[in-house]
Structure 1
Amino acid sequence: MPPYLAHEDTGATGDTGTGVLPLVLVHGHPFDRGMWAPQLAAFSAGRRVVAPDLRGYGASPVPDDTSTPLSVFADDLAALLDHLDIDRCVLGGVSMGGQIVMECCARFPGRIAGIVLADTFPAAETESGRLARAAMADRLLREGMAGYAEEVLYKMVAPYADPEVAAHVRRMMTGTDPRGAAAALRGRAVRPDYRPLLPRITVPALVVVGADDEYTPVAEARAMHEALPASTLEIIEGAAHLPNLERPEPFNAALAQWLLRTGL
C-alpha cells in the first residue's frame, strides 16, 4: 500500500492565517470520492477540503487482504493527514464513512475538531448481518458489481431522485473493484460497537440523515444525536441514504450553518 490514498485536495492550503480547519470527507460503500463533488465545489472557496478514495475504491489500490477492517481504513486516513501536513481537521463521513469517522475518534481523537455523521449508525453487526455481508462479499467476487448496483440503487437514492444523480451513483457502484468492496464488507462485518464511544466524543458533531433513508432510518440518527454530548441533528427532506448528493443545497446549508455556529 502506498503511504497515502488517492484523493482530491481543493481550496486553501497551507497556513492562510484564517484559522479555518480543513474539512476531510470520507465516502461510503461502494462509492468513491466522486460522491463529495457538491461539497468540494461548495466549501473549497473558503477552506481546504480533502476527499480520499478509500483503500480498494476509486483510484486507490485494491488490498491484497480479503478483509479490510475499519481500523485499517482509519489508519490509512491518519497516514494521509500526515502526508498532507494536517494536524487537526473536521472529519465527516456517510454510511460506512461515518463508521470510519467513529473509528478515527477512538484511535486519534486529538486530531479531530468536529465530526459529521451522515446516514450512519454506531451499533456492531448482528449475527445475521455478518452472515449476509459474508455472502454478499462472495457474490460480488463471483458476479461483479452490476447486479448488486441495480438491486440497491433506489435504496441508496430515493426512487424519485434526479435521474442524473441516480446515474452518477450507479456509475460509482459499477466502477468499484469487487475485490475492494468484498474486503470492506468482510471488515465491516466485524466492526466494534461504537455506542459506548459516543458519550465520550465531546467535540461538536453534526448528525445528518435523509428523511426517507431505509438503511439508517431517522430513529437511528436521533439516537446518535441524543448520545453525543455536543450534537446537532439535521433531517434532509426529499432524500434517502445519500442526501449530500440527492439534496446538496439543504445538506450544504446545514453543514455551513453548523460550521459557522461551532466556530469550525
Structure 2
Amino acid sequence: MEWLTCAKPVVLLHAFPFSPEMWSLQVTELEGRYSVFAPAMPGFGGREPGAASLEAWAEELAETLDNLGFDEAVFVGLSMGGYLAFRIWDLFPERVAGLVLADTRAQPDDGAGKARRAELAARVRAEGSRVLVEDFVPAVLGQTTLNSGDEERKAVRAWVERWVSEADPEGVARALEALAARPDSRPLLGEIEVPTLVLVGEEDTLTPPADARAIAAAVPDAEFLIVPEAGHMANLENPEAFNTALLGFLEKVYGV
C-alpha cells in the first residue's frame, strides 16, 4: 500500500502474523481524507525477514517516513502493531501526532510467555506456518465470528486462516523472537502527551478489555472504546464499529 495523495498522514501497523492486507477495510474508509501508509514489517507481506527487534523496525520506519517527506503521523497499531507503536513513541515521540492502540498490551512477556514464543518459533522453522492455524486462529477471533453463519464472518475466518498459513516461516519466527524481547512499555504510558485512543474487542481473550482499560487509565486523557462482537482482530470482525471510532478520533486530531 502506498501513501495516498493528501495531507494528514495515518500509519497503520499490522498484527502478527499478518500483512498490510488486514487493513484493507480501513484504507477504503480513510483514502481521500488522509494520507494512509500501511507498511509491511520485515518478514511479512512479501518482505525478507529482518532483525528480530522492534527497535530496528521502528528505526527503519522512521527512515521511511523521512523519505516520504512526513515529519509526523497518527500511528494506528493493532496487537504487534501496538507494541511497535510503543517503540516509536519511545524512540521518536516528535514523529507522533496521535496514537490508536488496538487490542494490544503494554506489559512484556513473562518467563512462561517468552518460553512459549521460543518453542513456537522453533516449531514454525521446522514445520512451517501452518502449525499456527489450529491454535492461533481460534485465539485471535471472537466467539461471535467463530460461531456465526453470517457470510461476512465466515469470510473473516477464511481470510485469517489463509494469512496465517501463508506467512513466511522465518519471518514469523523472527517476529516471535522480537515480541519476546520487547521491553516493558508501562513506564511510557504516563509520558504520552498526544491524543490517544485505546480500542479493544469485547471478546478479545489474548489482550482482553482489562489490559486495554489499564492502558487507557495510565495515558493522560486517553479515550477508551470497546468494539462489540469482536475478538482480537477487531478491525476485521466489526469493521463498521472500528472505522467509526477511528474516523471520529482522526477528525479530532486533524480537525477534519
- Compute the TM-score of the two structures, normalised by the length of structure 1: 0.91
Distance 1:262 1:114 in 2: 7
**Number of residue equivalences:** 248
Which shows bigger deviation, 225-234 or 79-88? Answer: 79-88
Residue number in structure 1 paired with 2:11: 24
Q: Which residue of 2 aligns with 1:4?
A: none
The structure whose residues are more often helix, as a share, is 2
Please state whether the residue corresponding to 1:233 is helix, strand or coil.
strand
2: CA distance between counterparts of 1:150 and 1:163? 16
Structure 1: how far apart are the matches of 2:159 and 2:118? 27
1:253 partner letter: T
1:124 equivalent to 2:108? Answer yes
| Among candidates 53, 78, 81, match of residue 69 of structure 1 | 53
Determine whether 1:217 maps to 2:208: yes
Matched ranges for 1:4-23 at <5 A: 8-13=1-6, 20-23=7-10
Which position in structure 1 is the counterpart of 2:130?
146
SS at match of 2:47: coil
Structure 1 residue runs of 4 or more that deviate by more than 4 Å after TM superposition: none
Gaps of 5+ in 1: 1-7, 14-19
CA deviation after TM superposition for structure 1 residue 136, in Å: 0.6
Point out where structure 2 has 5 or more consecutive residues left out of the alignment: 146-152
Which amino acid in structure 2 is aligned with residue 213 of structure 1? D
Once the 2 structures are TM-superposed, how far is the Cα of residue 160 of structure 1 from its aligned partner?
3.0
For residues 75-112 of structure 1, the C-alpha deviation after alignment (integer angstroms, 9 at most, x for no partner) is: 12112212211111001110011010000000000011
- 1:207 partnered with 2:191: no
Q: Could you list the per-position Cα deviations for residues 204-232 of structure 1 after superposition, in whole angstroms to 9, with x for gaps in the alignment?
A: 00100000000001000000000001310
Distance 2:125 2:64 in 1: 28
2:211 & 2:243 partners in 1: Cα distance?
21
The aligned counterpart of 1:241 is 232
Distance 1:87 1:196 in 2: 25
**Percent identical residues:** 38
Alignment correspondent of 1:227: 218
Please give the residue correspondences for 1:46-65 in structure 2 after superposition, counting only pairs within 5 Å.
46-63=33-50
Shift of 1:10: 4.5
Q: CA RMSD in A?
A: 1.2
Does the CA-based 8 Å contact 2:128-2:169 persist in structure 1?
yes
CA distance in 1 between counterparts of 2:157 and 2:63 reads 32
